[in-house]
Every structure is written in C-alpha cells, then in structure tokens.
Amino acid sequence: MESVLVSACLRGVPCRYDGRDKPSAALDASLEGRVVVPFCPESAGGLPTPRRPAELVGGDGHAVLDGTAKVVDDAGEDVTAEFVAGAHLALDRARSAGCAEAVLMPRSPSCGRGRVYDGTFGGGLVPGDGVTAALLERHGITVTSAPGV
C-alpha cells in the first residue's frame, strides 16, 4: 500500500501556529486507500504550539535552504534553524515510511507549495515553496497542496 506524508494539522492534530488543526474532507477523500504518515515539521523542529506566526523573508524555502533567505516570526525573531531542522526531520520520516509523495498545508512557510505568504504578515502571497516542501522536492518527493484548504 502506498504511503504519503501529510501535514499533521490536516489530519486533526492541533499543531498549527494558532494551536488549531485544519482538517479537510476533500483531502480525506483523496487519501483513501493509502497509508497516511502525519508530520508537523515546525513542531518537530522545536517550535511550541501555539507559536507566533512566521513568514519567509528574502525568498522562498529554496532560498532558505541555500542560505539566502530566512524565516522570521511577527516579533522579528529568526526561526530559520527550527524550520530547517523540521524540514530535515520530515524528509527522514518520509524516507523511513517509503513516501514518494507529500500532501502539505497550502501557503505555509514550512509546507506551502507554489505560493507562500510574502513576509509582510499582511496576508499577501508570492510564488514559491515552504522550507519543508522545497527540501522534499529536492530529494525527489512529489509535493502537492491539500485540496479544499
């Protein structure tokens, strides 16, 4: 049976920055018949729940991995190390579970795929990927955003 890594918040785990989850009936239907491996890279990377919202500054997750951008919270604290550590733990978990695919939380600085928040904390979006999404992609894992979220 095929395994898929899924953002834990999408599976009912209250691990988002605001201490909530974000389940999706559309996602549930798309995962039927597969082994779901829930994982939260931000929690795994050492950040508390709840926590201050964070956004990518200076580029997307690929730029963070390249050392040319960072992740900061809305108080200006640099949380890049925690996001990168969590991304590596997500990759380790995906590999150990045999996941060739990941379905992640849209727009997130960790999990966003294709569009992420713009770093101003104003709700704007820019093209790009979150840190975890970028790392998984770099290692051949197909990343998609959860439908209906």
CA 33 to chain centre: 23
Structural tokens at position 54: 């964070």
Domain that holds residue 28: 3-145
27-40 pLDDT per residue, tens: 999 999 999 999 99
pLDDT tens-digit map of 83-99: 999 999 999 999 999 99
Domain count, the chain: 1
User: Does this model's pTM top 0.95?
Assistant: yes
d(CA 70, CA 56): 6
